[in-house]
């Protein structure tokens, strides 16, 4: 049986890209009935074995072992995530960026922070917004993340992002209106994904992506342009796992005096000591405390 990659799932059909030839079109397939009996759902990103049928369609016969599996968005074998946050319209939201990073770290993906809409930065005398963007980039690179500043309008940074995505299955994530579809259009001229205008009243865009679909980049990479969302909850994450999702905490946490230290009030906490010494960025620790309390509150509620 030939092998392929599910690049889209829609209305009970799975669109499989044959592995044998890059020139072949995707094949519209149905899943075998045994999947439903076993409670298995093929996902976008699954590597599968399939059988072409006489009517020009096909059947997905077997799902090959998955490296990763995400629940939201439902996608298999993604290894990297691009977190897109605009420098303006909507304004940069660092608590939300840190919340996205927590979820991406928990999912075991490698994140890239992409600051979009560089062309909207203030070019005035003080250049305050440009300075803020530089400071944010330096802050997260100090933490240990790769940061790329982009503009879909001028093309700044788009080639660098595309190069970073080569040979990987990645997801694009971020609020609606931050320029996910615009960046993909800039990286792949002729793609023409629908983009959304920003509502000046609400400060956010309309959702333009309706389903998960892998977009081929032509360099061995695929990107899932996922439905936009503006808030995440912590229901699938245990409060004891939170600190490990802040990557700069990990080495210090191992040296805390008490096992299971919450890093909020215990004596001998090495993370609090590192914050006081300036070795851990204070804003990141502040967001950790906010998320910790939010998770405890949700646990009480549910």
CB 143 within 8 A of CB 98: no
User: Residue 33 gets which letter from DSSP?
Assistant: H
What is the per-residue pLDDT for 201?
A: 37
What is the per-residue pLDDT for 211?
A: 73
Instruction: Give all domains of the chain, ordered by start, each with its CATH number.
Output: 3-65 (2.40.50.140), 75-225 (3.40.50.300), 239-301 (1.10.40.50)
What is the per-residue pLDDT for 25?
A: 85
Kindly list the averaged pLDDT for each block of 10 residues, start to end, along the chain of length 302.
93 90 82 89 95 92 92 87 91 92 92 94 67 91 96 94 95 85 87 52 43 88 68 76 96 94 96 97 97 86 64
Confirm or deny that 155 is annotated as ligand binding. no
Give the tokens for residue 52: 């072409």
Task: Please tell me the distance from the alpha carbon of residue 107 to that of residue 105, in angstroms, as a whole number.
Answer: 5
Task: Please tell me the distance from the alpha carbon of residue 8 to that of residue 250, in angstroms, as a whole number.
Answer: 37
User: ∠ CA(282), CA(288), CA(294), 5° rounding?
Assistant: 140
Confirm or deny that 260 is annotated as ligand binding. no
Confirm or deny that 174 is annotated as ligand binding. yes
User: Residue 213 gets which letter from DSSP?
Assistant: B
Neighbours of 240 (CB within 10 A): 10
Confirm or deny that 177 is annotated as ligand binding. yes
User: ∠ CA(180), CA(66), CA(28), 5° rounding?
Assistant: 70
Confirm or deny that 179 is annotated as ligand binding. yes
Confirm or deny that 180 is annotated as ligand binding. yes
């Amino acid at each position: 049986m030939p092998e392929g990659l599910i690049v889209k799932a829609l209305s009970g059909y799975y669109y499989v890209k044959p592995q044998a030839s890059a020139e072949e079109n995707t094949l519209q397939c149905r899943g075998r009935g045994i999947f439903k009996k076993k409670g298995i759902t093929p996902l976008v990103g699954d590597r599968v074995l399939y059988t072409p049928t006489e009517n020009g369609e096909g059947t997905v016969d077997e799902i090959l072992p998955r490296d990763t599996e995400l629940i939201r968005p439902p996608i298999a074998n993604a290894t990297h995530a691009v977190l897109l946050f605009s420098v303006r319209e909507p304004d940069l939201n660092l608590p939300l960026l840190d919340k996205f990073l927590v979820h991406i770290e928990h999912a075991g993906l490698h994140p890239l922070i992409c600051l979009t809409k560089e062309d909207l930065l203030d070019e005035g005398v003080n250049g305050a917004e440009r300075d803020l963007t530089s400071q944010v980039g330096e802050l997260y690179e100090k933490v240990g993340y790769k940061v790329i500043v982009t503009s879909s309008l001028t093309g700044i940074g788009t080639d660098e992002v595309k190069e970073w995505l080569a040979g990987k299955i990645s997801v694009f994530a971020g609020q609606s209106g931050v320029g996910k579809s615009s960046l993909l259009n800039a990286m792949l001229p002729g793609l023409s994904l629908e983009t959304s205008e920003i509502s000046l009243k609400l400060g956010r865009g309309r959702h333009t992506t309706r389903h998960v679909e892998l977009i081929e980049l032509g360099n061995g990479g695929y990107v899932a342009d996922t439905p936009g969302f503006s808030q995440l909850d912590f229901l699938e994450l245990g409060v004891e796992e939170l600190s490990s999702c802040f990557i700069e905490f990990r080495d210090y946490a191992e040296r805390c005096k008490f096992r299971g230290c919450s890093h909020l009030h215990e004596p001998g906490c090495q993370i609090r000591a590192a914050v006081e010494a300036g070795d851990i960025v204070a804003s990141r620790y502040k967001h950790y405390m906010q998320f910790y309390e939010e998770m405890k509150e949700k646990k009480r509620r549910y």
